[in-house]
Amino acid sequence: MATTGAALRIQLLGSVRAWRKGVEVALGPPKQRAVLGLLASRANDVVGVENIVDALWGGDVPQTAANGVHTYVGGLRRALEPGRSRRAAGAVLTSESGGYCLRLDPLDVDATLFARSHSDARRSRGPGSSEVTLRLYEQALSLWHGEAYSGVPGPFAAMERTRLRDLRLTAVEEWAAGMLAAGRHAEMVTGLTGAVSEEPLREKLRWLLILALYRCGRQAHALHMYEETRQLLSSELGVEPGADLRILYQQILSGHPELRPPGGDTPHELLGVREAAFRGGAPKPVQLPPLARGFVGRDKELSQLEAVLEEESAGHGASTPVAVVDGPAGVGKSALVLELAHRLIDRFPDGQLYVDLRGTALQGRPLSAADALGQLLGSLGVDDAQMPPGLAARASLYRSLLHGQRMLVVLDEAQSADQLRPLIPRGSSCVLVTSRQRFGGLAARDGAHLVTVGPLAQKESARLLAGLSEGRLDERDPATARLVALCGGLPLALRIVADGLAANPEVPVDALVEQYAAEHGRLDRLTVEDDAAASMRSVFEASYQALPEDAARMFRHLGMYRGTFTVQIAATLAETDWDTTRRLLSLLAANHLLEEEPGHRYRFHNLIGIYAAECAEREPPARREEALARLVRLGPTVPQARPPSGHGDWRDARAAAF
């Protein structure tokens, strides 16, 4: 069936995501993403409403299920076809014959593309085709970005997860067999270790890995893995290894010539190239950036993080302690994590790795997980010639190299949990992360410890400002207290102010305070001349640019209001329904662009509020006037409503609304 509508790409092999014309769209709640996953898996086929209900709820169907399906479809249409009017028929997600149909090229769904690529790899197998075949397998496996349908509920998603996982593991087994036939057993060891950890009872995977270990000259490791396999099968299933594994074990003990690799090399000559590169002389990585000058406070957060990491490390389990520090731009997340990391250095004698994931960089794109792994592997001694292609192979090699190591890994400015998960090794290492987003899923699924940091307290802020001002301020000066309030306790803003005080000794302190006191232009002054990326406006802009368009639009409209506001006020300003408004406010709060207060009330940090008012000016004047008029018509329910100072057109609009 021919496809119509805007270009669309769907990811099912990982978290369910979608891109329209190359731009990711927000897909809404988990069940809404489940509907998209079902329709995408059956692209261009009509799926009945009853089938969708069964896929989402199974045997426990609520009375409102059918209405729920229609609501989810409506949400998807708004996301996938934002320019469509409410009454216009959908072109991408259509209603047909009592059901719905998602119209797109099936190969724009990664699960379908994986199945096609896997079939192509199988068909290519034959004499003299090993390199082409292996490349096709690796291209197919590189489409995976985590567990299929990750975080999506319902029986259909559960069945698809199982089916696709089995299909992927079959492809891994076929790839590994091809690697053995090509004599590339050393590379295959690293690529197969992760699959064995994921599916430890799958005997074929273990057979392949044991043979590869033997061919690499690691006979003791191969025999140990066989014994581990035997014990695992006995304890979990009450059975002994199958015939193939038992025969392989006996052949290893006897040094059977059939086990030699292609070309006749003896096993002791076939040391793992990648493992040898790391363990044979690459310098220990020591990559932590220096501590922030004048670091103060955060005693509670540091004590909490140290206690959690020490307790988890003492468990000696397979899980790696992961701590994620989140908070708004400029709050000092990186400074806190680096302070903690330097305190922990002695506990991790094998080194420290550091990667800037560029999750909120204004210039360029965030670092992909595969590229981040490339940096990490390079730091561990893997050169370009040995670097495996694709995310899965790199993640497997990374885990293998860090197995048994006590390494401290610092991942700065993470964008998403999907970006992070492949970078978390197993075992005795420790991972510290900073982000402007709160990763609830990483805590729920992966056991990460989340610590949110807010602005510094007044006393700590005054100590930081006075300590960096080169003697121009005292902690108890009234001017210090006023500057702390104007900066809202954000360390980055305080550091910029301190730099300005130190750099202009001829300007009286009170005069500088008055310059910062003016709300209009304050962000212009909170900048560093030779480092635009360090200005307050730039760091706020980076957070804003990372938002989906509907959340960015809500942020702009909220910038027209001053003070604490409710869901009703936000819905009135942005002209959105209550469910959408709540979702967008929660998203802005999770990205630390809003602060949530008791009673479902919200407010801006004072500097973010100034930036939001600037963003509001990006809306056309007519829309600003309409939004303010809607707000004023609420009358006494918005006693604090007033437009930002210095914007006469909004005051005129408000007066006209009365």
Q: Residues near 434 by Cβ (< 8 Å), separated by ≥ 6?
A: 324, 325, 326, 333, 334, 337, 411, 412, 413, 414
| Cα-only R_g, the chain | 29
pLDDT value for 657: 35
Phi and psi based region of residue 297 (left: phi greater than 0; alpha: psi -120 to 50; beta: remaining) = left
User: 293 φ, ψ to 5°?
Assistant: -65, 130
Contact (CB, 8 A) for 191 and 396: yes
- Distances from the Cα of 53 to the Cαs of 58, 67, 92, in angstroms? 7, 10, 21
The separation between CA 12 and the C-alpha centre of its own chain, rounded to angstroms, equals 16
pLDDT value for 129: 60
Stated as kind and residue range, the H or E segment containing 356 is strand 352-356
Tell me the one-letter amino acid at 502: A
In the chain, % of residues over pLDDT 70:
89
Alpha carbons 596 and 602: distance in angstroms, whole number: 5
Closest CA to 110 of 75, 83, 70, 150: 150
pLDDT value for 19: 92
Phi and psi based region of residue 545 (left: phi greater than 0; alpha: psi -120 to 50; beta: remaining) = alpha
Mean pLDDT of 321-340: 94
Domain boundaries, the chain: 1-134+147-165, 135-146+166-279, 299-452, 458-537, 547-657
Neighbours of 312 (CB within 10 A): 18
CATH number of 299-452: 3.40.50.300
pLDDT value for 642: 42
Range in 34-38, 43-47, 382-386, 592-596 the model is least confident about:
382-386
Query: What is the token pair recorded at 444?
Result: 């729920």
Q: pLDDT digits over 12-57, tens only?
A: 999 999 998 888 899 989 999 999 999 999 999 999 999 999 999 9
Mean pLDDT of 92-119: 92
Mean pLDDT of 615-643: 77
In the chain, % of residues over pLDDT 90:
45
Contact (CB, 8 A) for 389 and 445: no
CA-CA-CA-CA torsion sign (633, 635, 641, 647): positive
Query: What is the token pair recorded at 392?
Result: 């899965």
Closest CA to 334 of 363, 367, 292: 292
- Distances from the Cα of 316 to the Cαs of 235, 311, 312, 341, 470, in angstroms? 21, 10, 8, 20, 47
3-state SS track over 87-138: CCCCCCEEEECCEEEECCCHHHEHHHHHHHHHHHHHHCCCCCCHHHHHHHHH
Strand partners, 20: 8, 23
Mean pLDDT of 490-517: 86
- Distances from the Cα of 429 to the Cαs of 65, 310, 338, 341, 651, in angstroms? 46, 12, 16, 12, 58
Neighbours of 20 (CB within 10 A): 17
CATH number of 1-134+147-165: 1.10.10.10
DSSP string, 30-73: HHHHHHHHHHHHTTTS-EEHHHHHHHHHTT---TTHHHHHHHHH
Range in 318-322, 394-398, 590-594, 628-632 the model is least confident about:
318-322
Closest CA to 590 of 490, 442, 440: 440
Contact (CB, 8 A) for 550 and 616: no
User: 289 φ, ψ to 5°?
Assistant: -65, 165
361 pLDDT exceeds 50? yes
Query: What is the token pair recorded at 98?
Result: 């009592």
pLDDT value for 421: 92
Contact (CB, 8 A) for 413 and 359: yes
Q: pLDDT digits over 56-69, tens only?
A: 998 888 888 999 99
User: 445 φ, ψ to 5°?
Assistant: -90, -35
CATH number of 547-657: 1.10.10
pLDDT band at 207 (very low <50, low <70, confident <90, very high): very high
Q: Residues near 522 by Cβ (< 8 Å), separated by ≥ 6?
A: 486, 516, 607, 610
Which DSSP category does 258 fall into? Answer: G
Q: pLDDT digits over 140-189, tens only?
A: 999 999 899 998 999 999 999 999 999 999 999 999 988 888 888 888 88
Contact (CB, 8 A) for 622 and 616: no
Alpha carbons 316 and 426: distance in angstroms, whole number: 11
pLDDT value for 268: 34
653 pLDDT exceeds 60? no
User: 13 φ, ψ to 5°?
Assistant: -85, 70
Tell me the one-letter amino acid at 481: A
**DSSP three-state, residue 347:** helix
Mean pLDDT of 355-365: 83
Alpha carbons 172 and 284: distance in angstroms, whole number: 32
CATH number of 135-146+166-279: 1.25.40.10
Would you call 477 exposed, middle or buried from its count of C-beta atoms within 10 A (0-12, 13-18, 19+)?
middle
Q: pLDDT digits over 253-309, tens only?
A: 877 777 876 654 433 333 333 344 344 445 789 999 988 888 898 999 999 999 888
Contact (CB, 8 A) for 614 and 535: no
Would you call 655 exposed, middle or buried from its count of C-beta atoms within 10 A (0-12, 13-18, 19+)?
exposed
* DSSP-H helix ranges across 109-215: 110-123, 130-141, 155-181, 185-198, 203-215
Neighbours of 252 (CB within 10 A): 19
The C-alpha angle with vertex 432 and arms to 427 and 437, in degrees rounded to 5, equals: 125
Say which residue, 272 or 552, is predicted with more confidence.
552
591 pLDDT exceeds 70? yes
Tell me the one-letter amino acid at 357: L
Alpha carbons 55 and 77: distance in angstroms, whole number: 19
Q: How many residues are recorded in the chain?
A: 658
The separation between CA 451 and the C-alpha centre of its own chain, rounded to angstroms, equals 16
Number of H helices, E strands in the chain: 29, 13
Compute the mean pLDDT over every residue in the chain, rounded to the nearest whole number.
Answer: 85
1-134+147-165 and 299-452 share one CATH topology?
no
Contact (CB, 8 A) for 230 and 241: yes
Alpha carbons 430 and 319: distance in angstroms, whole number: 10
Which DSSP category does 470 fall into? Answer: T
